[in-house]
Amino acid sequence: MGKVLIIEDDALIIKVFSTRLKSGGHQVFSAEDGGTGLELAKKEIPDVILLDLMLPKISGLEVLAELKKNPETAKILIFVYTNLSTEKEIKEAKALGITEFITKADSTPQQVITKIEAYLNKTKTQK
């Protein structure tokens, strides 16, 4: 299956997604701050990153910008998963090339995982 990195400061959200993704056969890594997440992304080169925007140390938008600048990480599928959903953040994230913007309050973890797996399956068949 896929390699998934979760960059999220809420340990419960990390646990929920990690458990469900691992049970689906995915390899899962996680980081509770932007700096650690950025380093893990560069080291592991995951297929997908589930990225919160409000993070300690480095914001999700800064992580996103750094990932898109680096040729090794620029093509990683990035799902922004946040409660910070003002028009400004949405536009900025989309301009940086995210795969999808998901508001936490509007989606269940299973809906998010279904989207991630659909993109993983799509990219796998394109290779």
Q: What is the CA radius of gyration of the chain?
A: 13
For residue 100, what is the domain's CATH number? 3.40.50.2300
CB 13 within 8 A of CB 48: no
The structural domain count of the chain equals 1
Please state the φ and ψ torsions of residue 3, each to the nearest 5 degrees. -100, 120
What residues make up the domain containing 64?
A: 3-126
**HEC secondary structure over 45-94:** CCCEEEECCCCCCCCHHHHHHHHHHCCCCCCCEEEEEECCCCHHHHHHHH
pTM for the whole thing? Answer: 0.94
Q: Please list the pLDDT of the chain residue by residue as tens digits (127 residues).
A: 899 999 999 999 999 999 999 999 999 999 999 999 999 999 999 999 999 999 999 999 999 999 999 999 999 999 999 987 788 888 999 999 999 999 999 999 999 999 999 998 887 766 5
